[in-house]
Chains A and B, each alone.
Chain A
Amino acid sequence: MNYQTILNKRIQAVKPSGIRKFFDILEEMNDAISLGIGEPDFVTPWHIRDAGIYSLEKGYTKYTGNAGLMDLRREIANYLARRFDLHYDPKGEIVVTVGGSEALNLALSCLLEAGEEVIIPTPSFVCYGPLTEMAGGVPVYLQLKAENQFRLTAQELKSAITPKTKALVLPFPCNPTGGVMERADLEAIAAVLEGTDIMVISDEIYAELTYGQKHVSIANLPGMRERTILVNGFSKSHAMTGWRMGYTCGPQPVIKQMLKLHQFGIMSAPTTSQYAAIEALKNGDGDIEKMRAEYDGRRRYLVDGLNRLGLHCFEPKGAFYAFPDLRSTGMSSDDFCEQFLRTQRVAIIPGTAFGPGGEGFARVCYATAMKDIAEALVRLERFLDAIK
């Protein structure tokens, strides 16, 4: 059979991530230090795991309603109001999804007609472009600048807007740069969007991980709620990556369409995970504080170390990544990271893996034990000496 003619061309055209080769090398080394994986190194707090187990003991093993347990949606609404002053109706404005990723997929699929454009600031997480293409849209990558600490400026946004622009992805706090958008930055973006029909898909999965200042959602700004699809979840805030728990909030007419896609494609998010998530929101604020404080210590240490070794790194105020500038070494990101891995057995991710604008940088994840970060810095110093 000629599968090429059988399979959907749009899907076939999507390129698999180039980072695989890198991970293959890493997987064969059993003594390597990995600062490569973007995942909390904490295990989900016990009281949350226990709530999941308890729900199984009680026999809660059936589907939930399509949008998720009402109790959970209510808790999500309370949580968003309490933490970010965001107000959504649990009935009709919130859907519980299989991770934030599903929510992104729902949003893009529900918005896009063939050929419509989605502005995607980069470097950023790798899924936005492929999901846009698979939904028939056209990704328009917008390179953010290191000198702006990888924030999106109004000028940059204006220059990327065309009559075909359907949506803007706003990935802040940002994986991989650690960049954040403060209220004033968002106000400038809101001013550009006002009066247009452009929707914002705001991926706020790292909202709880900001240091020194509180995260502001664009949906919190006047006039923005009606055009924002908020995406969030429990993976980063509560160290719950494997539970696959996310959610999306937005205006009722938008959520109504997204729910259809979720209903027919997924049915409902995993029931056990939903019960665990209720516990996370009811009694988990302290866990967030504790993990944030821990990340903050590692962040300071790592950023300090990178700068000390001459790899300039602006202060990442969000997520759990530092994004040092490698250009002073004269090496490309890919070469630097591959050689660093092969010779020093430390994995960091070349910035190029995160789209245009990543060349010359690397993502260093500090959701890793302190002793590993310390050892990685020692090896980095050795590596920099060797390539001088």
Chain B
Amino acid sequence: MLSQSCIERILAAALSRGGDFSEVFIEHSKTTSVALVNGVVESTGSSLDMGIGIRILEGDKCVYVYSNDLYHEDKLIRMAQNASASLSDAPCGKTIYLEPVVEYFSGKPENSLISVSKKLQVEKLRKAGETAKEYSPLITQTSASCAGSEKEIWIANSDGLYVKDNRCRIRASIAAIASSEEDKQQGSFAPGSSEGFEFFERLDLDELARKSAKIAVTMIDAKPCPSGKMPVVIGNGFGGVIFHEACGHALEATSVGIKSSCFTDMLGKQIASPIVSAFDDARIEKEWGSYAVDDEGTPSTTNLLIKDGILNSYLIDKIGSRRMNMPSTGCARRQNYSFAPTSRMSNTFIANGESDPESIIADTEYGIYAASMGGGSVDTSTGEFNFAVNEAYMIRDGKICEPVKGATLIGKGGEVLMNIDRVGNDLKLAQGVCGSVSGGVPVDVGQPTIRVSEITVGGQA
């Protein structure tokens, strides 16, 4: 690790020719993974990643340089000086003294996954694969995996901030594939947490294996989904990806700060149905998308984004804060040192409402029940989003009927939020990895069961 005085010299070198703020991000991480296909250990990996990112700001201009050579101070100083070559020739003359380091623990494993023998993971993964296979003769393939990381990061900046954070994450996955002559359908779950091996030990992977198999077997019999505009009831948990795509991304300072978002200048205005409130909460203990301190060293927050349909807050990082004249909400994140941080989501969800999930279905004459969602994407300028439905059923006369496959939901974020006409009371979170400008970061999406009065469903029928 670089010494405090060395970091101070790098921060000073970065400001030697201009700029008003410099920052150093150092990362040291270990990752491990093991994956089984059809009960056989097919791949394993271990890696060690480390590097440094140096950022300089001049107003809202950002210079970012990174490298994974942490051994040559002279090289790092030169890198910082070269970075400042693109800045105006007006050094701010700041003297840099770092405060004593403040240490955070976003995650503290009780039992380190990195140190635990992979053999301990293999047996449980193998058993889960067998459980899925035994569920039905239609299940032809299974896969199961466990992967995790332990990271130490250090953030220091020219304002004197110096923090260290310790992070750990673990994620397991199970998938089952059902086959017919012409078709193959998959059911899968991939729970994760900011913990160590203890999470894996506690996890009821067999139950998830059975559920995966059930989805695959159900969907293999499904008919093609009808097309057109219709009411859609979206199940809890990963259904929250609708909010993540349709709204969350467009609330990030990355697009709001340059006024390209469809939600620019909408604070205090109604952007969703009055029964909708939504949070981005990085402070839920041990949750997959949580962190104690963000990648700029700002402590994380519980951010109420939408209150009763009214836009209450954006997701703001340091550059966003300069562009928007609003304080940071502690949401600057990056995949690793090779990305400059930017405003990102953490655990983002629609809060509980008042309806019973059963009553939402019972009140729906005709439509689709999207029980579990796949991924999607959004254009934050136009608000246009799309996402895939992995498990869907027709709703007729208030009852869940036959399964349908191949459905995609499309629409505009603003419209779909206004069209939410029921919010259930069964809030659940689900884990995923969100990809955007600063790389892939672990996030939770979530919601209770909701109904959208009208949305375009794309299917083959």
Q: Do A and B bind each other?
A: no
